[in-house]
Amino acid sequence: MSLKKEMECNEEISGIIAKSLKKRYDRKCDCAVMFTGGKDSTYLLWLMKNVYKLNIMAITIDNGFCYEKMLDYSHEICRRMDVEHHIIRYGTDEFKQMYQSMFFEYEIFNEDYGKNNYVCMICSYVLWKIAAKEAERLNIPMIVLGVDLAQINCLGVINGDIDSSSNRILSRAYSMAYLKTQELLSRSKAYNQNEAYKKFIDDLCGTGLSVETLFPFLYLNYNVEDIKSIIREKVGWDEKRLFHSDKKYISSGCRIVEAIHDISALGIIDLNEEAYYGVLKKAGAIGDVYHQREQTNTVFLENPVLEELGVKEYFEKICICKNICCQAKK
């Protein structure tokens, strides 16, 4: 059954929501959706409000490297849907330290993640913790997270049939993944030399524990075209307002993602789009119309994010040592 036909409440999702709402009767709202304005989070925002009839809030976390058009459009979508939009702005300092440490000391993270895109994975766990911490502060019992099939598959904890316990298992896996994230980040020079950054990481540990996390795509027939069709019709969502192309499946409102692609030829980190795309295609969630970024043996160091992070010269030296071609994009 396609998502288009799943306009009735899913039994497992309804059960998780009901249990969560019993925890706090004086709550500010029923749940907070982690929101970027992209297709998945927009769909979940619409779903929670219109199908499950919840009083919701949208939480967007600005890491200092978000495209401004993403922030503007996410706010516009919330205004159209009459949903309170809560933006958490950290500026660039805390996240800049985190990204710098992951680039400068990539060997620490390669030990556990290999060349897979550890930057985005680690960042996603940190963002999840920030959202849970904020929900706890605002007395919101549950956050809703748009983790898709490929992202769930990366954790490797959901095998076999999906049932009412699967959400709890995935929530525990996220908690364990964050603890591992904190352990890796604590081994970096930035963590041990910068008190403000250390406090940023340490303060997240042990917070948000009373907040339930709901992963709706565990229980829904995830299909990219169905999701887009629904939110185009119901919300007037337009991906071209966010991204240059409607044919790329993996699009992001974060400028770090494009920077990772530009340096992938260094051999220290890879977006791993082919494997990601393969999981979705095998599950019938995506069709042949989508394509990935062009693979190249050249490193492009003119991305302004690399300059902002202060890693450009470092990567130039790696290019020289490895005899890798580097140039500006045309």
CA angle 267, 270, 275 (to 5 degrees): 130
The whole-number pLDDT of residue 74 equals 94
Among 187, 307, 325, 189, smallest CA distance to 267 is for: 325
Residue 160, in any domain of the structure: yes
pLDDT along the chain (330 residues), means of 10: 61 93 82 94 96 96 90 94 93 87 92 84 93 94 88 67 84 90 94 92 88 93 89 91 56 84 87 72 70 72 92 92 78
Distance CA 185, CA 188 (A): 6
CA distances from 70 to 165, 175, 239, 242, 328 (A): 34, 28, 10, 6, 25
CATH (domain of 236) = 3.40.50.620
Identify the domain containing residue 39 by its residue range. Answer: 3-244
Residue 302, in any domain of the structure: no
CA distances from 316 to 118, 162, 169, 300, 320 (A): 21, 47, 43, 10, 6
Using alpha carbons only, how large is the chain's radius of gyration in Å? 20
Distance CA 167, CA 174 (A): 11
pLDDT in tens, 139-180: 999 999 998 777 777 666 666 677 778 899 889 988 988 999
Residue 326, in any domain of the structure: no
Helix then strand then coil, in percent of the chain rounded to 5, is 55, 10, 35
Q: pTM of the prediction?
A: 0.90
Question: How many independent structural domains does the chain possess?
Answer: 1
Distance CA 293, CA 321 (A): 26
Distance CA 197, CA 126 (A): 13
Among 310, 55, 319, 98, smallest CA distance to 200 is for: 98
The whole-number pLDDT of residue 269 equals 87
The whole-number pLDDT of residue 265 equals 87
The whole-number pLDDT of residue 58 equals 98
The whole-number pLDDT of residue 32 equals 97
Residue 299, in any domain of the structure: no
Torsion of CA 50, 53, 57, 59, to 10 degrees: -60
Residue 292, in any domain of the structure: no
* Cβ 2 vs Cβ 27: under 8 Å: no
Residues 6+ apart with CB under 8 A from 254: 63, 65, 66, 67
pLDDT in tens, 276-291: 777 777 777 777 655 5
Residue 200, in any domain of the structure: yes
The whole-number pLDDT of residue 185 equals 95
* Cβ 296 vs Cβ 86: under 8 Å: no
Look at the alpha carbons of 238, 62, 103, 125 in this order and tell me if their dihedral is positive or negative: negative
> Half-sphere exposure of 212 toward its Cβ, with a 13 Å CA cutoff?
20
What does the block give as tokens for 150?
A: 């490929």
Residue 287, in any domain of the structure: no
Residue 99, in any domain of the structure: yes
The whole-number pLDDT of residue 1 equals 40
